[in-house]
Amino acid sequence: MDATQLVKMVNDIAAFFVAEATPAEAPLAVAGHLRRSWPPPMRARIIAHLAAGGAGLNELSLAAVRCLAAGESA
């Protein structure tokens, strides 16, 4: 799966969590979802995309992938 598809998926997941979590909890909630639901190669690819600048990731998605990369999640 290419980075464009992963970015769309993360942004869609983040849009769900905007309504389900407080602003402070949302990045950790999204990161937790990615950790539980995405296989390691997908997580590695989105983290690599973040390291390359994170083009296309919205603000919440950027924060969530940073949490994922740092090993933080809810």
Q: Going by C-beta distance under 8 Å and a sequence separation of 6 or more, which residues neighbour residue 38?
A: 46
- With a threshold of 0.85, does the pTM exceed it? yes
Question: Model confidence over 14-31: pLDDT tens digits?
Answer: 999 998 889 999 999 999
Contact 66, 27 (CB under 8 A): yes
pLDDT > 70 fraction of the chain, expressed in percent and rounded: 99
Stretch 49-64: mean pLDDT, rounded? 98
Report whether pLDDT(74) > 90: no
- Is the pLDDT at 1 greater than 90, yes or no? no
The distance in angstroms from the start CA to the end CA of the chain is 25
